[in-house]
Structure formats: structure tokens, C-alpha cells
Amino acid sequence: MYASSTAAMVRLTTYADAREALRHRELREATHDEALFLLDNTVLVLHGDAHTRRRRVENRAFRRDILGHFERDQLADIFQETVGPFIEQSEGNLVEIAHRLVMNLSATVAGVDRPLRTPAETDRLYEFLKHLSEGATIIDSTRDKDEVRTEVLDALDAFKREFYSASEARRRALIADFHAGTIGEEQLPRDVLTTLLRYQTELGVPDDLLPREVGLYLVGAHTAANQITHLVHELLTWMQQTGDKTRVAAKDLRFVQRCMLESVRLNPPAPSLLRAAPDAEVVLRTGRSIPANALVDVDLASANRDPSVFGNDASEFNPRREVSPEVYPWGLSFGAGTHVCIGQEMAAGQPMDEDVAPEVHLYGAVPRLVYMLFEHGLTPHPERPPVAAGHTRRREWGEYPVAFAR
Ligand code: HEM
């Protein structure tokens, strides 16, 4: 038995309490309770052994060799295909550019085929992404929630018809060929959908869950896309403040990765993550008590600015910040514990302190894409200022006009 919506609320604002709560096995994921109409039974909301089993299978699509292939061999093509038209027009809305970019990448990891690879096809997938993301983050929506739910379920049906069904059928046929011995394992796509289909019976995954689970990975793209815009904004502001007129900061990929970790700390994907307590009290190491059946508000925004961990300038963007080795430089923006973000290394790369050669180091899709945007002369738009998003309480940009100098 776990907390209901009328339960007492405990707010955790220090880094130590917040991290421990996210890692605590007794506390159940509850941020998405309002989004169960879309996310029920997906990896994001599963608990205990069922979560461990599903996660273990899906982790296979995020192995470092696969991520290295995406970063080094596929990202530049996706960039050209997606950003090329905006560079030709010399301007665009970064929010839209970022979503298109990361969506095409996430579609590949998730296992959603884009057979035509046309701008119209990307537009259509982008429409679904927006609806699915709005459904997953309905807890923070400022719109009429019944209206949102209806739109999201309609979009899910259309997504199944227009993208998902053909993607599933193609993978099922390939898996059958593999079992018949006519193709080798290396000819199977290395994505979440293929992995799930291969282990569907073992995991007991019903057919109707598959498109929603795959859709969840597109929602991950929404989070990563927002981080592209946040990182560009933080970098532009920082370069202006430090008088970096030749934009040296954006020409060093390793430094851009460092900037991303700092930017994601200051701009967590949601103000809070929720956890639900069981029907017994939970006491954290600091002595903080969480009463039976309480809801826990893990306040990411506060924990990530905890001065006892990040220093007195914790609210400022400082990519040269040093933190103790036990502390995540990105704060708790990727979560912690069993539900820690599966796409973290894909989006943000591997930890900076791992001793690997620069040519094999994973820098992450967000730093690499931002680096490429600056390489193409990205500057703030000379006439149109950025505007915050109006449909959500989350810290998101609605429009971020940029220009391309070459
Ligand atoms: C910078 C970008 C990203 C940020 C800040 C981020 C943040 C997070 C956070 C905070 C969680 C934990 C939620 C919780 O504990 O309640 C999470 C989980 C998750 N993320 Fe991400 N994410 C990002 C990118 C991505 C990408 C690119 C993907 C997919 C390709 C992805 C897929 C997922 C999935 C599937 C989970 C659920 C994992 C589980 O419950 O076991 N994320 N993410």
C-alpha cells in the first residue's frame, strides 16, 4: 500500500536528503501518477523486481559501443539533415531545431523507423512527440487536463498507425529471420523496440504496452531538447559576461560537455520528482522522518543549489566549479537510484573524470550538437528575443530565435 493524493507531503530540499530519497528502495516513483493513462506499466513507473527486469533488458540499447556509434558516425548526418534548412535560411527557432534534432536521434534508439526521411515526416513525428511529452508531464500542465488527455490518446492512436505498427512488423520479421538462422545477430537493429520484442514473452510485456514504452523514449528526447536550448542560453550569457568575444568556450568540446553538466544542474527537467512512502515510517540518514504513506517532494531545483555542496555561488553558472568526488556535478537532474535516467550517457556523455582517450570519450549528444550549432555561427537573433513557454510550470523556453552567421 502506498500514498494516495490526499497524503501528507514532505519536501526535501537538501542534496543529501534528496539523493537518499531517490535511491531509497522503499520509496516508490510517484511523479507520473497523474500520467498513468499514458505511462502505466512503462519502465518509468514500475517498482521493485519488475522494474529491475525491464530495465536490465532496455539497458542493452544504451551500451557504450552503441552510443559511440551514434555520436561519432550518425550525429553529423542527423545534424545536416535537420539543421541544414535552417542554416540556409540563416535563422530559426532553437526550441524547434533542438526538438527535431534530438527526436530523430531518439527515434533511432527507441526503434521508430522514419522510412521517408523527409521534412514532412519529421514534422509529423514532432507533432506526436509534443503530445506525448505533454501527457507525460501533465502534472505540471496549466491547460485543461481532460482536454490534454483526449488529445494525447488521439495522438497515440495516430502514432501507432503512422509510425509504430510498421516499425514493429519490420522488427518482428527480422527477429523471425534471426531465429530461422537466415540472418546473424549483428543484422538486428540495436534499439529498445527490438530488444523488447526479443524478450517480450520472458518479460511478460503485453502488446498494447509496446507503443507506449517506445513513446516514452521519444519523451526522453523532449527533455534532452530542452537541455540544448538551456545550454546555448547559459553559454551565450556566460560568454557575454566573461567578454569571450571570439567564443573560445564553444570551440572546445570537452569544455562544452562541462558546461552542459553545469547547465543541467541549474535547469533540472522538472522542479521536483515525487516519491510515495510505504505504510511504515522511513527515516533518512540525516534523521529526517518520512511518515507512513506520505508523498515526498524531492525538490531538485533546491537540492541542486544546496550551498553546502555546491558552494555559496551555487545559483550561478560556473563551468569551472569543483565539487567533491561523491557529488554529481549535474546535481540530481538525471535522478538517482534505480530510476536514474537511462539516456544520461547518450545525452550528456560519460563522466569527465573517466580515464579514456579523447577519440573514444563519449561527450554526449547535447554537447556535440551544441558544439556543431556554434560551429555554424549560432548567435542570438538580432531582433527577436526569447520567450518562456506558457503551457507548463516547468522552466522551458517556448521560442528561442537564433541566427546563423555562416
Ligand atoms: C539531458 C537530458 C535528460 C534529462 C535531464 C533526463 C532526466 C531524467 C530523470 C530525472 C529521470 C528519473 C525520473 C525519476 O526518477 O522519477 C529520467 C529517467 C528516464 N529517462 Fe531521462 N533525461 C534526459 C534524457 C533522456 C533521453 C535522451 C532518453 C531516451 C533516449 C531518456 C529516457 C529516460 C527513461 C526511459 C527514463 C526512465 C528510467 C527508469 O525509470 O528506469 N532520458 N530521466
Give residue-wise pLDDT tens across range 86-104.
Answer: 999 999 999 999 988 888 8
Q: Is 197's C-beta closer than 6 angstroms to any atom of ligand 1?
A: no
111 lines ligand 1 (CB under 6 A): no
Of 301, 277, 292, the closest CA to residue 18 belongs to 301
Average pLDDT over residues 222-246: 91
Cα(340) to centroid(ligand 1), Å: 7
Q: Ligand 1 centre and the CA of 79: distance in Å?
A: 22
Backbone angles phi, psi at 355, to 5 degrees: -85, 80
Question: Is the CB–ligand 1 distance for residue 343 below 6 Å?
Answer: yes
For 180, other C-beta atoms within 10 Å of its C-beta total 8
Kindly list the distances between the CA atom of residue 311 and the CA atoms of 15, 195, 323, 331, in Å, as whole numbers in the listed order: 12, 43, 9, 13
The CA distance from 359 to 353, in Å, is 15
Residue nearest to atom 20 of ligand 1 (CA): 341
- Ligand 1 centroid, distance to 195 Cα (angstroms): 18
pLDDT band at 355 (very low <50, low <70, confident <90, very high): confident
User: Could you tell me if the CB of 264 is within 6 A of ligand 1?
Assistant: yes
Please determine, for residue 1, whether its predicted confidence score (pLDDT) is greater than 50. Answer: no
**What was the pLDDT predicted at 4?**
52
- Is the model's pLDDT at 6 over the cut of 80? no
**What's the pLDDT tens digit per position in 94-132?**
999 998 888 888 898 999 999 998 888 988 998 998 899
User: For the segment 383-396, what is each residue's pLDDT rounded down to a tens digit?
Assistant: 999 988 766 666 77
Reported as a pLDDT band with limits 50, 70 and 90, residue 2 is low
Residue 358 has pLDDT above 90, yes or no: no
What are the pLDDT digits (tens) for 150-199?
999 999 999 999 999 999 999 999 999 999 999 999 999 999 999 999 99
pLDDT attached to residue 391: 63
Model confidence pLDDT, tens digit, residues 59-91:
999 999 999 998 999 899 989 988 999 999 999
Helix, strand or coil, per DSSP, at residue 265: helix
Closest residue (by CA) to atom 36 of ligand 1?
341
- Dist. CA 337 → ligand 1 center (Å): 12
Nearest ligand 1 atom to the CA of 264 is: 5
Distance 86 CA to ligand 1 centre (A): 28
Q: Which helix (H) or strand (E) holds 302?
A: helix 300-303
- The residue to mutate among 51, 260, 341, 344, having the most atoms of ligand 1 within 8 angstroms of its beta carbon, is 341
Higher pLDDT, 133 or 395: 133
Distances (CA, A) of 374 to 22, 238, 365: 35, 14, 14
**Cα of 246 to ligand 1 centre, how many Å?**
34
The C-alpha atoms of residue 292 and residue 359 are separated, in whole angstroms, by 50
**Three-class SS of residue 72?**
helix
pLDDT tens, residue by residue, 295-339: 999 999 999 999 999 999 999 999 999 999 999 999 999 999 999
Task: Cite the beta strand spans of 94-142 per DSSP E.
Answer: none
**Average pLDDT of the segment spanning 227-240:** 95
For a pLDDT cut of 90, what percent of the chain falls above it? 79
Question: What does the mean pLDDT of the chain come to?
Answer: 92
Cα separation of 49 and 314, whole Å? Answer: 37
What does the pLDDT read at residue 5?
Answer: 53
